[in-house]
Structure 1
């Protein structure tokens, strides 16, 4: 079996551990339904063992890290926490003594959310590209200049090192691990079982254009933004959108830019390309994707996609499909 050790400590973010753990358990369940043996064994590990309380007050039972046998370790992941709980973990002698050996023996290692601070403080991420929570990316980069921080990605895979942006992105990273270890179809079954909207690939931004706009609760265009997201194949030019909200084109353009930080054209193109990347990662034909997101014909779609990302949609699909 593939052993997965989540390294936790007082005040850890519960979902950083339980979210991915639910994915690995879901994979075992999917295998069982196919008459195949379980593949994953999840263990919670802490400095001293015993009950370890999370930030939300729920305690979990853990094994002491010095009693955890590094031989046969499959995956070692350090979970994240808010700053006041993270700093003691970074300075913990027991973790500092054991983690280098554990990560050296593991098939892969990494972190969820700000757990990367613990690894980076020990030099275990030097020369690597990593992801972390958007709110921690600046401090992380300043504190550890020898580590390349991708402040945008949901998760990053750099050799044996897997790191995620935080909280729910740990679920996305765990699904990618399942797809890598077993089969993308198993990962898909787990995602469906967990009622996830989609399996998000690592390249997807922590903040989509839609999410950025939705975070502004007083946005006068919240309803329009939701409609755009579900009608990408419709005419989404400025005259059509302005008419939909009952404004003149000039007024609409000015107010939309003020509310979202993007021009209507840029917002629509970004929403379409975000959706296109998701569809391409599923291996769909370019013609189908172009029609689905309102960028037909295929030549136009290819031109817009390559201008934005510097790679053709065909090559992007070939690189991402199945991962």
Structure 2
């Protein structure tokens, strides 16, 4: 990528959009740069589509653009937005071509949410670290094995290429870029104006849905999984599970590795974590949750929560228990 020809003041920010683009992937980060402009940042914000035609967004609003991607003057920052269609129907060839054309001319290249699929399809993530929405991280890793996918990260920087997780993480990334350009004081003013964190607590695993794994083809392994899911508080050590299944612990470990790509211990911990999250969501206390989920103690559960989610059970419950707040 080229070195910038202009200073940070007046830097151009170009959003690459397409039919089906998720509206918040565009407007969320754009609002951060616009808010920064109120503080004197001077970003020149523009919108381009592969063909230069207006696009239909995910919410049905038609978005006008400034022209085709190929006709973009030398950009400082190119933001490739996401959309469900990139995962469900694949990345259009014209979008892939547009990214390949503009990437070498941009000083920095960014993807928001599933926009990482477009960057990967264009080849610019090859050999790099990246992230995407937690729901699609495994799919991105399977489709592009030469990309090191970090599923828990809110955003990842690899050189001058940045990728972000779900839609609101794109707003976090935009604020980080403003801080890179103009320092923490201006970024802090922007964050306060938009009522957002300078750094959001925890990773995106705290937002993820319960574990879903393919149904094993081996009946014995299916029975083991059903038991763990139905009664997570039982003793599910590897030796106990193997004994119940009538196989050796080593053979059970091979079954987990070949069919689920994990270990019995990791699987049991994930099931218990999902069960605990559901209990906390339903309003149960931390001690009761630890007991019912099979962690044995509140401290053991706290260590797992912090290691896996970047938040304690109490913090998780406060963030996700309810949208209701005490306004008194």
What is the TM-score when the length of structure 2 is the normalising length?
0.64
Measure how far apart 1:175 and its partner are: 0.6
Partner of 2:81: 79
> Counterpart of 1:128?
128
Match in the other structure for 1:117: 117
Query: 1:23 aligned to 2:21?
Result: no
Partner of 2:318: none
Is 1:92 aligned to residue 93 of structure 2? Answer: yes
Counterpart in 1 of 2:42? 39
Q: Note if contact 1:77-1:109 (Cα within 8 Å) is conserved in structure 2.
A: yes
Distance 1:88 1:64, change over 3 A: farther
Q: Which residue of 2 aligns with 1:194?
A: 194
Which residue is 1:148 aligned to? 148
Contact 1:70 1:101 in 2 (8 A): no
Aligned residue number for residue 323 of structure 2 = none
**1:70-122 Cα shifts (integer Å, max 9, x gaps):** 42x1111111111x3556672233x3333223111111002001111111112
Post-superposition offset of 1:208: 2.9
User: Is 1:64 matched with 2:61?
Assistant: no
CA contact (8 A) 1:78 1:110 kept: yes
Matched position secondary structure for 2:189: helix
Query: Counterparts in 2 of 1:227-306, with a 5 A limit?
Result: 242=287, 253-255=290-292, 257=293, 264-269=298-303, 274=310
Q: Which structure's CA Rg is the greater one?
A: 2
Shift in Å at residue 52 of structure 1?
1.2
CA contact (8 A) 2:125 2:147 kept: yes
Partner Cα separation in structure 2 for residue 6 and residue 175 of structure 1: 16
Mapped to 1, the partners of 2:289 and 2:110 lie a distance apart of 46
- Structure 1 gaps of 5+ residues are 32-37, 226-240, 243-250, 277-292, 294-323
Instruction: Give the whole-Å Cα distance in 2 for the aligned partners of 1:262 and 1:192.
Output: 41
SS in 2 for 1:139: helix
Q: Which runs of 5+ in 2 are unaligned?
A: 1-9, 211-272, 316-328
Higher share in strand:
1
1:63 is displaced (CA, Å) by 2.5
Indicate if the aligned counterparts of 1:116 and 1:132 stay in contact, CA closer than 8 A.
Answer: yes
Residues 216/48 of structure 1: CA separation in 2 closer, same or farther (3 Å cut): farther
3-state SS, counterpart of residue 219 of structure 1: helix
Task: Give the corresponding residue for 2:203.
Answer: 205
Structure 2: distance between partners of 1:9 and 1:137: 22
**What's the secondary structure of 2:167's corresponding residue?**
coil
Q: Look up the SS of the partner of 1:136 in the other structure.
A: helix
Which residue number corresponds to residue 247 of structure 1? none
For residues 76 and 89 of structure 1, do their structure 2 counterparts lie closer, same or farther at Cα, with a shift above 3 Å needed? farther
Q: What's the counterpart of residue 14 of structure 2? A: 5
8 Å CA contact 1:80–1:112 kept in 2: the answer is yes
Matched, 1:162 2:162: yes
CA RMSD of aligned residues (A): 3.2
Deviates more, 1:84-93 or 1:113-122: 84-93
Matched, 1:185 2:185: yes
